[in-house]
Amino acid sequence: MAENSINKDIVKEENLVFKKTGLFTDKPLSYCPGCGHGTAHRLVLETIEEMGIQSETIGIAPVGCSVLAYEFMDIDMQQAAHGRAPALATAIKRLYPEKFVFTYQGDGDLAAIGTAETIHACNRGENITIIFINNGIYGMTGGQMAPTTLPGMKSSTSPYGRDIQSMGNPLKITELVAQLPGTYFVSRQAVHTPAAVRKAKKAIKTAFENQKLKKGLSFVEIVSNCNSGWKMEPVQANQWMVDNMFPFYPLGDIKVPAEQ
């Protein structure tokens, strides 16, 4: 049925508009259906491909759902201990200052166990790029409450919803690092609609270009869904994200360098 609907006149090499970037390896992504990680991976890889820096880029994979990022990205990668990706990226960037170094971290990695490394790397203004995927939950381990879990949001360790009195407030780490003098560019994006994907791509590209100009640390948060952790269908989870996550984590550039 699907094969029959392909129009042989249109499907030709010269009419190609969009295809999967060649920087993906042949491994199928291990993420749940509809997970924003796949789109975020693709945007990072497309940026690297467009800038022609495949052989000069070193990525740092985190611990979390995206722990296997090095299996999917056809670039040099390291895998850091839980939360230590910014520290490892600092070391690599200092040893190879001409390389492009980025970390790819989830909210459990960056905003919980790795808070100290994140804040100090941002404060030192290391010339690296941090891609932060925020889905408000520990997706890999079974949907436990994360520092970024919204007030009242249900997770497997807050089954009646996050209670601020006993469980504390969610951490807006992106706003936090934007206050630090070392960060040059801080932005929050999403990947749930085509328009959001285009904006996120632009932000990621800016973040990598800043590294080329040796401007300091660029930090891009991507608010994502976790349909398995949230116990929703992918499309429904995206809608829930728009209704609940975006009022708390508003999209847009948080810190942009002043015009020259």
Partner 1 sequence: MAKIKGSIVVNIERCKGCGVCVPSCPTTVIALADEVNGKGYHYAYMANPETCIGCANCALVCPDAVITVYKMKVNE
Contact residues: partner 1, CB under 8 A: 1-2, 5-7, 9-12, 15-21, 24, 28-29, 31-39, 42, 191-194, 197-198, 227, 233-235, 238
Which residue has tokens 């600092």?
Answer: 90
21 versus 79: smaller Cβ distance to partner 1: 21
Q: How far is the CB of 63 from partner 1 (least distance, A)?
A: 21
**Between 7 and 165, whose beta carbon lies closer to partner 1?**
7
Contacts of 253 (CB under 8 A, 6+ apart): 185, 186, 187, 188, 203
Beta 137-138 vs 144-145: how paired, if at all?
antiparallel
Q: Shortest gap between Cβ of 199 and partner 1 (angstroms)?
A: 11
Whether the Cβ atoms of residue 25 and residue 43 lie closer than 8 Å to each other: no
Q: CA-CA distance, 253 to 260, in Å (whole number)? A: 18
Q: How far is the CB of 187 from partner 1 (least distance, A)?
A: 18
Q: How far is the CB of 196 from partner 1 (least distance, A)?
A: 9
Nearer to partner 1, 121 or 191 (CB): 191
Question: Which residue number, 18 or 160, has a Cβ lying nearer to partner 1?
Answer: 18
